[in-house]
Amino acid sequence: MLTSKAMVLRELGLPAPYAESQPLQIETISLLPPKPSDLVVKVMGGGLCHSDLSVIDGTRGRTVPMVMGHEGAGEVVEVGGGIDDVRPGDKVVFQFAPSCGRCSMCQSGRPQICTTSVAARAAGALLSGGTRARGADGEELFHHTGISCFSEYAVVNRGSVVVIDDPISAVDAAVFGCAVMTGTGAVLNTARIAAGESVAIFGLGGVGLCGVMGAKASGAETIIAIDLTEAKRDKALELGATHAFDATDPELASKVADLTGGGVDVAVELAGAVKAMESAYAVLRRGGRLVTAGLSPMGAQFSFEHGDLVSNEKAVIGSYMGSCVPVRDIPRFLKMFHSGALPVDKLIDGYLGFEDMNAGFDRLAQGKALRQILAPHGT
């Protein structure tokens, strides 16, 4: 049985600062052998994301104790007996929405909303059934989105990884598992922004800035970056935004309308907040479309005037994992990175050890970091 150092969440909603309350505990866990459709991966990088933070602070409930981490990459070290297309030594990027390849959504080309995986993820289990992580005395530990990559090693289902043949380091490749797919995918796949269109991006964390880069790559003419934090707005301008506004500006909608001649063609909400959704809807032009990939707290409600939606033929569209087909899009986004069209390396603030993780989530919660990466085996 393989042992691994890991970050385990045992209690939801402990107060910040997390460097003091220590919601993530460093533990030595045991990993059960892989089932025939599972892999063992040596985790090289695990990104700290607001989706992790929403579990830690209790905004989105999960079953604990749980080994955390959903954005990452690594190297395969063992392959289950039923897998013949992956080998030890292969470099892989995790995808946080595993796909079975057989359900109606997978067969219709939408594996990111695989119906089979929903129940498994909700139960903290793998797509192949059950859990593989154990704590002291054999205690069952649950999986975060079937991945749990805040660990030296992880047992995952074959449907949770994409094999990449790419020179990028496996540490830095971690960001392609969530930030890039969610942000860039929301712009390119869900919104399908066309050259010359105008775009407003709400929320400029790692995911939002990937949206800005994706909008630039798409040929959008006007790219408006909107956030509460000046430093993030400045970063967006560096990465391709043409304009930036303070999200708290009471005249935001009128300023966007003046700039664009009536509103934007596309608003992309990547903040995960109802107020951002309301502002995004308010800046749409007639016939505009609002795409949202942010996840508000459970139970949060967003409303709009029905008549306005109909008479102005607007659209509100959800985007999960950037509407990505990971086996298609992760290699595509890697090519964009190497061409300079998607400089996601500029989002990485630094690399952490296990002992730095709680403080790292403090920095993320305070808006002082974009993408920090746990490097379990060093950089």
Alpha carbon 84 to its chain centroid, in Å, reads 28
Give the number of C-alpha atoms closer than 13 A to the C-alpha of residue 82, restricted to the C-beta side: 9
What pLDDT does 25 receive?
A: 98
Cis peptide before 65 (omega within 30 of 0): yes
Give the number of C-alpha atoms closer than 13 A to the C-alpha of residue 169, restricted to the C-beta side: 13
The token pair that represents 275 in the structure block:
């107020």
Confidence band for 278, pLDDT divided at 50, 70 and 90: very high
Give pLDDT tens digits for 60-108: 878 999 999 999 999 999 999 999 999 999 999 999 998 888 899 999 9
Give pLDDT tens digits for 5-16: 999 999 999 999
Q: Boundaries of CATH 3.40.50.720 in the chain?
A: 192-318
Name every residue whose Cβ is closer than 8 Å to that of residue 189 and which is 6 or more positions away in sequence: 319, 322, 323, 324, 329
- Among the ranges 56-60, 275-279, 298-302, which has the highest mean pLDDT value? 275-279
**pLDDT tops 90 at residue 296:** no
What pLDDT does 7 receive?
A: 98
CA-to-CA separations, 11 to 30, 57, 357, in angstroms, rounded:
20, 9, 16
**pLDDT tops 90 at residue 297:** no
What pLDDT does 201 receive?
A: 98
Q: Could you name the CATH architecture of 192-318?
A: 3-Layer(aba) Sandwich (3.40)
**pLDDT tops 90 at residue 364:** yes
What pLDDT does 60 receive?
A: 82
Q: Boundaries of CATH 3.90.180.10 in the chain?
A: 2-180+324-374
Q: For the chain, what is the mean pLDDT?
A: 96
Asked whether the beta carbons of 209 and 186 are under 8 A apart, the reply is: no
Give pLDDT tens digits for 209-261: 999 999 999 999 999 999 999 999 999 999 999 999 999 999 999 999 999 99
Q: What is the average pLDDT across 21-36?
A: 97
What pLDDT does 62 receive?
A: 86
Q: How far is the C-alpha of 360 from the C-alpha of 352, rounded, in Å?
A: 8
Collect contacts of 302-311 with beta carbons under 8 A, ≥24 apart. Answer: 302/274, 302/277, 302/278
Q: How far apart are the first and last CA of the chain?
A: 26
Report percent pLDDT > 90 for the chain.
Answer: 92
At residue 195, what are phi and psi to the nearest 5 degrees? -55, 135
What pLDDT does 299 receive?
A: 83
Give pLDDT tens digits for 177-220: 999 999 999 999 999 999 999 999 999 999 999 999 999 999 99
Q: How far is the C-alpha of 158 from the C-alpha of 82, rounded, in Å?
A: 10
Asked whether the beta carbons of 177 and 73 are under 8 A apart, the reply is: yes
**pLDDT tops 90 at residue 1:** no
Q: What is the average pLDDT across 249-277?
A: 96
CATH 3.40.50.1460 fits 2-180+324-374, yes or no: no
Alpha carbon 158 to its chain centroid, in Å, reads 19
